[in-house]
Amino acid sequence: MRYHGVMRTPPLLSTLLGLLAAAGCARADRIELRPATVRFVGKGKSTVIHATPYEKNGRHIPDPPCGWSSSDERVVTVAGEGNDATLTSVAAGRAAVRCTIGGARAELPVEVRLVARISVRPDRAELKVSDAPAPLVLSVEAWDDEGVPLASRSAVVLCASEDVCRGDARGQVWPVGPGETTARVEIEGAGVTIPVKVEEGRSADGRPKAVKGNPMLEIERKVRERERAEAAAREKAAR
């Protein structure tokens, strides 16, 4: 468009050019990471963090995305997709995860701790198998590799002989039959082994009955008898 011999840029085009120029000049001045810190207990644990870059005037910039890195990949690895990243614990230690956009950089401290020791009470499981099965609930405590107590950790129990007892993932031992064996109690790789003794406490009716002959033959005989009775009833009803 020409005004008095001078070429002028149309207002709409001028606005668009201004926005493009402003976008091209946008630079990250600071980056905010959320959460601000991460603490893992155990190997192979993961969490997602998010980066929000801001211009000097405080306006949020969605692009460009972060360049993600870990100061020690032997402790924690980082896999970034845009301004989100997944952190995964590798081994005990401390490291920093960084987000870099141009000249701006933000760091997030990461701590990885491992379960190093557990204690179990009682240190010997003595149970009695009864008509109504009931477990022994073990009291299990755990400490990390720096000696700090760990709360709310689930203990897994495995019995060496499942003819004597069976464990579960809730720190319990269930009696199965009389005898002696051992049980391994573990929390994320750390564990102890305790002796287990189970005594007979079932009534005569509650104890397993010995199997004689072929029980399937008796089942088949009863099925045939029922079928003959049903056929006779149908025949009588049809007369």
Ranking 31-35, 157-161, 216-220 by mean pLDDT, the lowest is 216-220
Which domain range does residue 89 map to? 26-113
Q: Are 63 and 124 members of one domain? A: no
pLDDT band at 22 (very low <50, low <70, confident <90, very high): very low
Q: Pick the more confident residue, 8 or 175.
A: 175
Q: Are 100 and 157 members of one domain? A: no
Q: Pick the more confident residue, 28 or 88.
A: 88
Tens of pLDDT along 179-194?
999 999 999 989 999 9
Cα–Cα distance between 98 and 105 in angstroms, integer?
7
CB 51 within 8 A of CB 99: yes
Compute the Cα dihedral for 114, 116, 122, 125 and give only its sign: positive
Q: Are 168 and 104 members of one domain? A: no
Cα–Cα distance between 187 and 205 in angstroms, integer?
38
Q: Choose the final residue of a domain: 54, 80, 113.
A: 113
Tens of pLDDT along 52-62?
999 887 787 76
Whether 49 maps to a domain, the answer reads yes
Number of domains in the chain: 2
Whether 207 maps to a domain, the answer reads no
Q: Are 167 and 123 members of one domain? A: yes
pTM: 0.64
